[in-house]
Chains A and B, each alone.
Chain A
C-alpha cells in the first residue's frame, strides 16, 4: 500500500514538474506578436485606416445647417462649436477621436517598429521591409493629419517657434512629450516618408488599398509639399505618384442611382483611409442631419457634369447631401490619397511653376472622365491666373467631402487669397477671418490635464 501511495505521489510530481506545465498560454484570444505577419496584422487594424480627424471638415465651408434648430439638434457639442468656430471647438466634449485616434495609429506603428527591431532573423526580407515601411508611412501620415489640424499653417518664417504636436517615436507609454515645433514635426514626417519609400513596393496588391506603396508615399509627399507651399516638390512627387498609378474612373461607367456608386476597393484610390467614426454631420449616404452642401459650390457644377449625380442626392427638405463616396459602402468620408487628387496637385504645381500645358492637360484628362460622354470640350486658358483659379475651383468640386478643404483654406490664405468664411444661423452671423488663430483647433482638455502640454490660443 505504501508503495502505491508513493507511486501516486511520484506520478503527480512528475506530471506537474514538467517544465512546460506553466508555459501553456492562458487564453486563446491573446497573442504575443512574434513574427513579421503578426506585426503586419496589427497594421491591418481599423485604427490604422480610420483615424484621420474630422474637425477640418466640420469647420469648413463645404456645407451649412439649414437653420438654427437643425444646428441645435446636432448630436455633439463639437459639431455645433466647430461650425461657428467657437473658442472651445469641443464645447466640453471629451474623448476626442480627432486627437486620440491618430495617436493610437501612431502607437500601433511604434509598436510595430519596436517589435520588428527584435526580429533579427527576418531583417531585410521583403515582408519585413514592407511591414517596416508601412509603419513608417502610417506614422508620417498620422502626424501630418495632427499637424494640419492642431498647428498653424506651415510658414518658414515662423515654423521654428510655431507649436507642432508631441512627437512620440517609441512604443513606451511611461513618458509624455512636449509639443515639438512645426519645423521639427515636418522634418520628422518627411524623414519617415523617406524611410518608407525605400521599403515599400511600387503598388499595393489588388484589392488591398489600405496597404501603402511607393505611389502612396510619393502621393503623401505631394500632399504635404502642397500644404507647405513648396510647389515644385509637390509637382514632382505628384508626378512620381502618377507614374506608378494613374488609373482614372470614367464616371460614365458608374451607376449614379446606386446608393454607393464606388466600390470599396475603387481603383482611383492610392491609399485608403477614412475619417474617424464619430460625427453624424459628416456621414455620407444616409445623412439625415439638417445640413446641405454649399449652394454656391453646387451651382459651379455644369449640367453635363456627372459628379452632380454621382456625388449628391436631394433629401427631404430639398437639401443636397453626399451620396456615397470613395470609401465605397463606408459611411464616413474618404480621406485617403487618390489619383484625382494627384492630377490636381500636379496641375496646380505645374500652373504655379508656369508649365501651362502640363497643367491644362492634366485638368482636361481628369474632367474628360467626369463629364457625360461627348460633352466635354478641352478648355483653353488665357493666362496663368485664370488657369490657377480654374484648377482651384476643380479642386473644390472634385475633392469635396475628402477632408482637404480646411488645409487648403489655411494654405491659400497664406498665399493671400483672403477667404473669409461666414455662417448664418437664423440671422445670427459668425465670421472666420483669413489667417485667424481659430484655424488651429484646441488640444483636447484631457491631453492638457494629463501631460501639461501647451494649449492653442483661440478667440
Chain B
C-alpha cells in the first residue's frame, strides 16, 4: 500500500511485486501476517528489497479478541469472563461435530450426560432446575436454532464462551445458561488466494456389548423355569396367541407331554449354551468409519475478501445398516466500498445431511439372552419376539391364506426391508451493511435468514414383519369362500414427516468508538433486534404404498376392525399430524465501555427482551437485564515495577441474565386431544392457571485475576463467581386432590459459587524442543435456598435426578439408609429411626429418617490437564480429564424388572440364597411375587451408591507440522499430518465395579482412531 492512498498491490508467490508510484516521496507500507508491518521510503528507487522481521507470537493477551455476537472487544479492554478457543486449539481434536472439538479444552464448560440437554453441556454448572439447560449457541452473530451437527467444524475460526453477566447479559433473557459464540472463517483483505485441504479418516471399534452386565443364559433359564413352575406364564399361555419365550415353549411341551424329559433337558441345555451377544457382535455391529474432506480457499484484494469452502463427511456407523453423510458449502464475502466507508458482508451457508438406517425401524428387541439370529452357517433364523405373537399360533393361523407371520431380524436387515431415511437441508444467508457515519460512529444493519427442512421417510417394505403383521392383524378370512379381506392393503406402509423452520433475524446497531484527550476512550453500542422462528410440522401414513409409482391406496380410518386374534378392535391410524410453533422476540440493548488510559475499565450493559411468551400479561412479557463491570490493568500503572509478574489484570462484574420457559403459561391452557369415542372434539388441560408466573433470573458476580509471569513462563486466569438463581421454575409433586399430580411454576431460589482456574505453563522452551502444560480446574457448588413446594415422598427424592430440598445441591443424590440384609435376605432400612422392612412406608411416605444425603450427583470439581511436547516439527499432546466430588447409583437387580423380562442386570449370582449369605452380600433374595417397593428400596439404597470420581485419558494427538523448510520442493506452503486417538479410557476410578460414571445407561462410546492430513497451498 502507498501510505495515505488506497492504492496497493499484493506480491506473487516468490514475494515479488511491482507498483507504479508517481510521487517519489511516497511511503510504502508492507504488511504480512505473522510479520511486523514495515514502512519504506521509495526515494526514486526502481527496485527495492524489503526484509520483514517475523513477529514473535507468544500468547499475548493483547492479541486476543473476544466476540460477544454483538461486537468484538480486545480482551484487554473487557471486564467480563470469556473463554476463547482459538483455531489451533479448536482443531486439536478430530471429529465431524463441533462439540468434540470443545471437550476438555474449554474452561468452564462441563460435558455431562446428566446436563439435561441434548448436547450434554453446561456452562459453569446448572443455573436452572426445570427449564432448558442448554447454553445459547450463536453462529456468526445470530442465535442458531438448527442442529449443531449440521455445522462443519472445518469452517469454524474460533469459539468464545461467555460466562458471566458482563459477558453474556447482552444476550438478556437467553443468556441464563451461558452463551457459546461460534465465528466462522472469513477472508482477509490484501491476501493472496490460499487453498487449504483437510482430510481425515476415523476408525471406531465396535461397542463393548459385554460392558453391560446381564444374566447368563443358564441363569435366565433358571428364572424362567422358576416362574413357569409358579404359574406366572399361565395367563399368557392361555390365550394361545400371546408370545411366549422359546424356553417357556419347551417347558410347556414337556408339561403337555409333547416332548420327553430328555428332549426337554437337551433343548434347554442348548439354549443355556448360547449367548446372544455373539450373534449381535457378528451380525449387527461393525467397526465404524468416518471420512471427512474439506477444501477451502480464501483471500482478498484491497477492497474485497472471500472465503469459500466445501466439505463432505461420510459416517458409517457401528450399527450395521446405518450411515449418514453431510455436504457443507460456505461462501463468505465482504466488500469495502466508498473509500471503505461502507462495508457489505454477504455470507451464505448450505448444509445437507442424509441418514440411512435399515435397523432402527424394525420392531427389534433382544428379548432373551440365549436368542439366536442365525444358525451356524449364517442363515437367518426366525425369532419369537415379544413384539410379535406366539410362533405356534402364527405358523398355522391363516392356513396359508394370510401373509407369512414369522420374524427374522437378520433376514430383514440383509434385505433392507425397513428403510429409514432422513434428510436435513439448511440454508443460512447472513448479510450486513456497516456504514461509517463519522470516523467514530458506525451504523450497522444485519439480517439473517435461516431455513431448515427436515424430511423423514419410514418405509416398511411389504415383506417386512412390521407390515405383514399389521396387514394380518386386521385381516378377516371367509372360510367358506377362502377369500381374505384386508382393511390394510398389501404393499408397503410408509410414514412420512416433514418439518420446516424459517427464521428471520434483523438487527440495527450503532457502534461508537472514540478516545478523548488521548486517555478517555469510549466504546458503546446501542441496538434493536427482532427475531422470529417458525416451525411447521406435517406427518401422515400411506398404506399399500408402491415405491416405484410412489402411490398408495385409500383405507378406512374410521371403522373399528376386529383383530384376527383375540377380542380387540382397532382403527387404522392415518398418522396425520400438523402443527406449528412460533417464537417471536423483540429486544433493545446497549452497552458502554469506558477506559481511562488503558488502565481503568468501566463497563455497563442493559437489555430489554420481549417475547410472545404465551399467556403472560404484557408487562411481564418484557424484562430488563443488565450488568456493570470494572477492571484494572495493574501492570500499566507507572508505579508497577513487579518484573517477575509482567502482566496483571483484575476485574469484577455484577449483573443479571435471564431464562425464558416457553412451555408455561400464566393462563389456563388446553390442547386439542382428538376425537373421543363418540366423535366429539375433546381438549386436554395442559397448564393450570398460574397468575404469578415470572421469568427466571440469574444473578452473576464474577471476580477475575489474569496474570502472566515474565516471558510467559506461567500465565493464567483465576476467577471466582457467584450465580444465584431467582424465581427458578420448578416442578413438584402436589396432592392429587388438586386434580393434577405435579405443579410447575416459579418456586426456587438457588445459590451457586465456584472457581475457574486456567494455568498455562511453558515448562521448556528450547529451539528444537518445547513442553507446555495447560491445567484447567473448575469447581462449582450449588445449593437450593428456598423452595416453595413440598418435595413429595421419599421415592420422589431418591429417584429424581433433581430433588430440590432447601440446603442441598440442586442435583443431590439421596438414598435410603441401609441396614444390611436380614436372616432371610430381605433388605432392611429405617423408619422413624428404627430398623424397618416396611418398604412401602419407607418408599412412599416422607419420613426423613429413612433417607440420607450422600452428596452431589454432578461433579463439583472437574477439568483437564493437557501436555504438549514439540520436537522440531513433531508435536505430541494428550489430554487428561478428571471429575471429582460426586456420586452415582450403580444398577443392581430388580426382581420386578427381571420377571417382566429384563435380563440385562447385574448381581443375580450374588443374591442372598441361603442363611448366612447376609454376611457376604447386600443383594436381596429373590421373592415371588416380586415386591416393587422392595426392589425400589434396594436399588435406591446406600448399598448401591458409588463415588463417581475418575480420571480419564481422553485423547492423544501426534502431529507432524511440515513447513517450507521441510518441504522445499513441493507446492505446499505447509502441511500437517496427524494421528488422533479419542475416548481412550479411564485411568483411575473410585468405584470398584469398573463402571464409567459418565455412562448412566447403555454402553460407553467406543475408542476411535483417526488419521488426518491438512495441506495449505
Contact = CB atoms under 8 A, between A and B. Distances in A.
B400 interface: no
B508 A45 contact: no
9 A-B pairs with the lowest CB-CB distances in the bound complex, closest first: A107-B739, A69-B231, A92-B840, A451-B735, A16-B530, A92-B933, A44-B682, A316-B238, A450-B735
17 contacts: A5-B443, A8-B445, A9-B443, A9-B508, A16-B586, A31-B670, A32-B670, A45-B684, A69-B230, A111-B685, A111-B688, A171-B688, A172-B689, A317-B238, A446-B735, A446-B736, A449-B845
A100 B736 contact: yes
Nearest to B679: A207
Contacts of B928: 72
Interface in A96-124: 96, 99-100, 103-108, 110-111, 115
Contacts of A30: 614, 665, 669-671, 686
A271 B464 CA distance: 44
Interface stretch (B32-40, B175-183, B576-584): B576-584
B740 A445 contact: no
B516 interface: no
B741 A31 contact: no
Given A22-B621, A26-B613, A207-B679, 19 more contacts: A5-B443, A8-B433, A9-B508, A12-B528, A21-B530, A33-B669, A41-B682, A44-B681, A49-B676, A88-B840, A92-B843, A110-B739, A165-B737, A168-B737, A168-B739, A177-B737, A208-B680, A444-B736, A445-B840
Contacts of A115: 668
B673 interface: yes
Contacts of B621: 22
A32 B445 contact: no
Contacts of A52: none
A12 B508 contact: yes
Interface of B: 230-232, 234-236, 238-240, 242, 338, 342, 433, 435, 437, 443, 445, 506, 508, 528, 530, 560, 562, 566-569, 578-584, 586, 610-615, 621, 662, 665, 667-673, 676-686, 688-689, 733-741, 743, 790, 792-793, 795, 839-840, 843-846, 928-929, 931-933
A44 B230 contact: no
Given A99-B736, A445-B840, A5 B568 contact: no
A419 interface: no
Contacts of B683: 31, 33, 38, 41-42, 44-45
A2 B433 CA distance: 11
B793 A80 contact: no
Interface stretch (A242-250, A286-294, A346-354, A359-367): A286-294
A445 B844 contact: yes
Contacts of A165: 737
A285 interface: yes
Given A2-B437, A92-B931, A171 B234 contact: no
A41 B433 contact: no
Contact of B846 (A72, A92, A290, A449): A449
B504 to A, nearest CB: 10
A56 interface: no
Nearest to B733: A450
A22 B612 contact: yes
Given A12-B445, A73-B232, A259-B567, A91 B672 contact: no
A17 B676 CA distance: 42
B739 A44 contact: no
Interface in A62-86: 67, 69-70, 72-74, 77, 80
Given A12-B445, A264-B678, A451-B735, A27 B668 contact: no
Given A70-B231, A111-B668, A286 B568 contact: yes
Interface in A203-235: 207-210
Contacts of B567: 259-260, 285-286
A382 interface: no
Contact of A1 (B435, B685, B735): B435
Size class of the A contact interface (CB-based, 8 Å): 35 or more
Contacts of A176: 735, 737-738
A451 to B, nearest CB: 4
A12 B506 contact: yes
Contacts of A69: 230-232, 234
A32 B683 CA distance: 11
B793 A445 contact: yes
A22 B622 CA distance: 10
A450 B668 contact: no
A287 B238 CA distance: 10
A329 interface: yes
Contacts of B614: 25-27, 30
Nearest to A92: B840
Contacts of B508: 8-9, 12-13
Given A171-B668, A329-B560, A329-B569, A265 B685 contact: no
Which of B338, B567, B621, B662: most chain A CB closer than 10 A? Answer: B567
B691 to A, nearest CB: 10
Interface of A: 1-2, 5, 8-9, 12-13, 15-17, 21-33, 38, 41-42, 44-47, 49, 67, 69-70, 72-74, 77, 80, 88, 90-96, 99-100, 103-108, 110-111, 115, 165-166, 168, 171-173, 176-177, 207-210, 259-260, 264-265, 285-286, 288-290, 315-317, 328-331, 444-451, 453
Nearest to B537: A28
B678 A210 contact: yes
A13 B240 CA distance: 71
A73 B242 contact: no
Given A22-B621, A176-B737, A288-B242, A259 B562 contact: yes
Given A32-B668, A288-B242, A16 B736 contact: no
Given A9-B508, A12-B528, A70-B231, A22 B610 contact: yes
B689 to A, nearest CB: 7
A166 B793 contact: no
A94 B844 contact: yes
B678 A73 contact: no
B104 to A, nearest CB: 37
A49 B678 CA distance: 11
B738 A45 contact: no
Contacts of A315: 238
A290 B235 CA distance: 6
A15 B504 CA distance: 12
Contacts of A44: 676, 680-683
Contacts of B686: 30
Nearest to A324: B567
B230 A73 contact: yes
A446 B737 contact: no
Contacts of B579: 27-29
A307 to B, nearest CB: 19
B530 A449 contact: no
Contacts of B795: 94
A446 B668 CA distance: 25
A70 B445 CA distance: 75
A176 B734 CA distance: 9
B362 to A, nearest CB: 27
A103 B242 contact: no
A29 B612 contact: no
A340 B792 CA distance: 45
B236 A288 contact: yes
B445 A67 contact: no
B681 A288 contact: no
A23 B612 contact: yes
Contacts of B662: 26
Nearest to B238: A316
A355 to B, nearest CB: 37
A28 B580 contact: yes
B621 to A, nearest CB: 6
Contacts of A331: 568
Contact of B583 (A26, A92, A108): A26
A6 to B, nearest CB: 9
Contacts of A31: 669-672, 683
A387 B610 CA distance: 75
